[in-house]
Amino acid sequence: MKFVDWQIIDYKTAWDNQEALFQKIIQTKKEAQDTHDLETVFLCEHPHVYTLGRNGQVNNLLVNEDFLRKIDATFYKIDRGGDITYHGPGQLVGYPVLDLDNHGSSLKNYVYKIEEAIIQTLEHYGISSARLAGAAGVWLDSNTPNARKICAIGVRASRFVTMHGFALNVNTDLTYFNYINPCGFIDKGVTSMQKELGKPVDMKEVKEIFKSKYFG
């Protein structure tokens, strides 16, 4: 498994690149060949974009196309799980394209491992986070009225090969979340590392910390 840093990349370009590797790994598995060397975790940031998962409700996007243009954002319906979310500058997005058969992992355990890597990354910065029952992702004050999401997770899997992944709010402009019901929730907030710490966070360092925790 290797890490590739795309830095800032158009959402559709990243999606197409993921899909190509995803299909290549599936085809390699069908041919009963080893897939270890193909496995890749892509890290990146995106220009402003909203994505709606296959089971999501389009009315969780609270603005129209004209308004999207005004805020320089795009919108895609995609094939991951989960509802609507936002990606943008200052957010660390990760797309692990993996063969879970190589890791002896179920899809549920795989999501758990992503969450754990994020929880440990945040712990490095003194931010205490946790899971929230019935909601994928990583949360702060998860079992209180002040519960707020700091990392969204939505994946797709076929033949135990994964794509899509997570979005960790590092220095994210949180005002963009005002235009959606994030992940379908209307009663919970969102936050970022910058907001919690009261200062910007070095994105390159966050990537390195995450890489050291992921599947460690």
Q: In sequence order, which ranges of the chain are alpha helices (DSSP H)? A: 11-30, 65-70, 107-124, 193-197, 203-213
Catalytic residue list = 183
| Rounded Cα gap, residues 138 and 125, in angstroms | 15
Q: Residue 20 is encoded by which pair of tokens?
A: 């190509």
CB 173 within 8 A of CB 88: yes
CA distances from 77 to 94, 149, 194 (A): 18, 22, 29
Q: How far is 33 from 111, CA to CA, in rounded Å? A: 25
| Helix (DSSP H) and strand (DSSP E) numbers for the chain | 5, 11
Count Cβ atoms within 10 A of the Cβ of residue 168 and give its class: 0-12 exposed, 13-18 middle, 19 or more buried. Answer: buried
Residues in the chain: 216
